[in-house]
A and B are shown apart, each in its own frame.
Chain A
Amino acid sequence: MSAEAHDSTHYIKHHLQNLAYGKLPAGYVREDGQALTQDTWTIAHTAKEAKDMGFLAFHIDSLGFSVGLMLALMILFRSVATRISTGVPSGMQNFVEMIIEFVDGAVRGSFTSRNNLVAPLALTIFLWVFCMNLMDLLPIDWLPGLATMLGVPFLKVVPSTDPNVTFGMSLSVFALVLYYSVKMKGAGGFFSELAFQPFPKYMFPVNLLLEGVGLIAKPISLALRLFGNMYAGEMIFILIALMFSGGVALAVFGGVLQWAWAVFHILVITLQAFIFMTLTIVYLDMAHQEHH
């Protein structure tokens, strides 16, 4: 029983560990007992090694899957854009136009100023978040199982369950929000927006605190919402997958559960992509608006 529990724990932990490529310092004792003679860039073989790499590490799986998927999508969209016809659209062009019009409608609905960056930005976010989330629908052992066979120690397939990825996007959006806030309102205008409302001017420390928290909450909530949803979804898939080793009855029940959860997840992944896109548009709209 304890061995089985240990197996389960190991299975879950293994699924939640990214494939990290990073720098281990000289003198570090690796899991096979050997000490490193010099600083080494290498692939982490254990979760502890990945943790000990600190900030100087890349998650090869997160970056690989997210960039790879988006690159494929971008090539597809670019190929449609180069041979687009204004006549009767067909096939892939229809599909691409549908997405473009959907995003365009969302931007027109929420963004009141003029900025040529926002619509492509929204499109990028929607497509990227969606295709990263889509990896969640692959049966969770396929790609990691294949990777194990090929001798790769870890593989986490869904990039949006990596907080690096979601924060990478939300902080980029936050940078744009700050940039356009300052550009549109001036540094003074932006500061007065933070300091001189909602209460009168003499209470500016309170205002600053309130508005500052509100400002910081934007990127954090954006990233954590996506991360939390996808991480929890992935976790449920892992727990359901554990049932497959618990006898025929449990395995069948697990199969049904997995199917049901996957169907539900089709909604979740689309919704999360849409929310991330819409909130980005709204934040940028607020950055463009004069409050007074």
Chain B
Amino acid sequence: MNINMTLIGQSITFFIFVWFCMKFVWPPIVSALETRRKQIADGLAAADRGRHELELAARRASENLHEAKQKAAEIIAQAEKRAIQLVEEAKGAAKEEGDRLIVAAQAEIEQESHRAREALRAEVAALVVAGAGRVLRREVNPQAHADLLEAIKNEL
């Protein structure tokens, strides 16, 4: 219980320990703690950012998908419309072609029948002339009566 130089000894060692703590113990540990705190905070922020980006990406993907679906539907609709159009066009062309063929055929038929009729007429005229010639042998001269024969031929 005596007060003596222990008091002074204790005070001196106290200041030495405080100095030691201040110089060699406190700063490295506290700075390490600070660094770790920062690392953790950065990590958490990065994770947050990552989560946010993931969300955005998912939204963008679903948007793209939706758009693609829409576009595909559009394309299909267009193609269908085009196909119908093509069929219609083909139908039109075929009908035109058919009509044209029919017209040509009719024209040909008419020409053919005309030609046949001409040939027939010529032949009938010839026959008539031959018949008449046989009947008239003398009086009728084909050269003198050509205009008459021609008139008959036209009437047939």
Residues of chain A having any CB pair with chain B under 8 Å = 16, 18, 20, 22, 50-51, 53-59, 62-63, 66-67, 70, 74, 77-78, 80-82, 84-87, 89, 96-97, 100-101, 104, 116-117, 119-121, 123-124, 128, 162-165, 167-169, 171-172
Contacts and interface: CB of A to CB of B under 8 A. Distances in A.
Contact of A120 (B10, B18, B35): B18
Give the residue among B3, B17, B32 with the most A Cβ atoms within 10 A.
Answer: B17
A22 B6 CA distance: 10
B4 A53 contact: yes
Main SS of the interface on chain B?
helix
Given A16-B1, A63-B6, A165-B6, A101 B33 contact: yes
Contact of B10 (A82, A87, A96, A164): A164
Contacts of A100: 26, 29-30, 33
Interface string B9-28: 11101110110111011101
Main SS of the interface on chain A?
helix
A11 B29 CA distance: 46
Q: What are the 5 A-B residue pairs with the smallest beta carbon separation, nearest first?
A: A168-B10, A164-B6, A120-B22, A120-B21, A57-B4
Contacts of B28: 81-82, 84
A97 B11 contact: no
Contacts of B3: 55, 163-164, 167
Contacts of A54: 2, 4
A184 to B, nearest CB: 19
B36 interface: yes
A102 B59 CA distance: 46
A164 B30 contact: no
Nearest to B17: A124
Contact of B20 (A18, A74, A171): A74
A234 B96 CA distance: 126
A168 B7 contact: yes
B39 interface: yes
A124 B13 contact: no
Contacts of B151: none
A172 B14 CA distance: 8
A55 B18 CA distance: 25
A70 B17 contact: yes
B14 A124 contact: yes
Contact of B8 (A53, A128, A168): A168
Contact of A74 (B21, B29, B30, B35): B21
Contacts of B25: 74, 77-78, 81, 120, 123
B29 A97 contact: yes
A64 to B, nearest CB: 10
A50 B3 CA distance: 11
8 contacts: A63-B6, A74-B17, A78-B25, A116-B22, A117-B18, A120-B22, A121-B22, A165-B6
A20 B6 CA distance: 9
A84 B33 CA distance: 9
Contacts of B18: 117, 120-121, 124
Given A86-B35, A120-B21, A124-B18, A63 B9 contact: yes
B148 interface: no
B1 to A, nearest CB: 7
B5 interface: yes
